[in-house]
Amino acid sequence: MEKLIVAVGSTRRPKLEGLRAALAEITSRLAGQPIFEIAAVDVPSGVRHTPLSREELMRGARQRAEALARLAREKSEPWNYLVGLEGGVDVVEHGSERLVFLESWAYVADAGGRGAFGRSGGVLVPEPLARRVVDEGIELSEAIDAFAGGRGIRDAQGAWGILTRDLITREDAFRLAVISAFALFFNRAAYSGGASQAGA
């Protein structure tokens, strides 16, 4: 069996577990069912600690993958895929109403530089929590601990788990984002113009 090394720009447990779960599901869709090995490397996102827009979330995920690509070149790392993961909020104006959604994003690139984004979906952030994060500039990790009366929530179920009563955890959100981003690679027929053969 072929071994593929996936470098991810974080050492946070929910991100790593989300990636691990996604790769386990993706394996069955790839020819030869390769074995994935994960290399976790903490790299900067280049965006604020809690991104406050979809554009910033996407930029943070991509910049983590690009930082990994630079490391791979500098250190001759044999990484086959580079994964950047970013979580934060997207602020949407809906008529006269402000809606704030918690989102998780992934950017996956292969060694040749081909890349794609994936997103988790979004869950509405309650207004009191949104005010703390968006208006007062409090980091989401700190704000969710205060909101839920807990400690270390970011490295457990995350804000996702608090807001969905653990029906979707932070790990789950990143798993979905990674699968969505990897679709370009494991479902090449759909993305090369051969939609009639997609999924074959």
Using alpha carbons, list the distances in angstroms from residue 80 to 26, 89, 197. 15, 30, 25
Could you state, in order of their start, the residue ranges of all structural domains in the chain? 3-197
pTM here is 0.92
Residue range 3-197 forms a domain whose CATH class is alpha beta
- ∠ CA(44), CA(47), CA(48), 5° rounding? 110
The span from the CA of 119 to the CA of 173, in Å, is: 8
The pLDDT of residue 30: 76
Using alpha carbons, list the distances in angstroms from residue 138 to 3, 52, 57, 154. 42, 11, 17, 14
The span from the CA of 36 to the CA of 7, in Å, is: 10
The pLDDT of residue 198: 46
The pLDDT of residue 195: 55
The pLDDT of residue 200: 39
The pLDDT of residue 102: 98
Low-confidence ranges of the chain (pLDDT < 50): 197-200
The span from the CA of 199 to the CA of 47, in Å, is: 36
Burial of 131: CB neighbours in 10 Å, binned 0-12, 13-18, 19+: middle
For the chain, give the longest Cα–Cα distance. Answer: 56
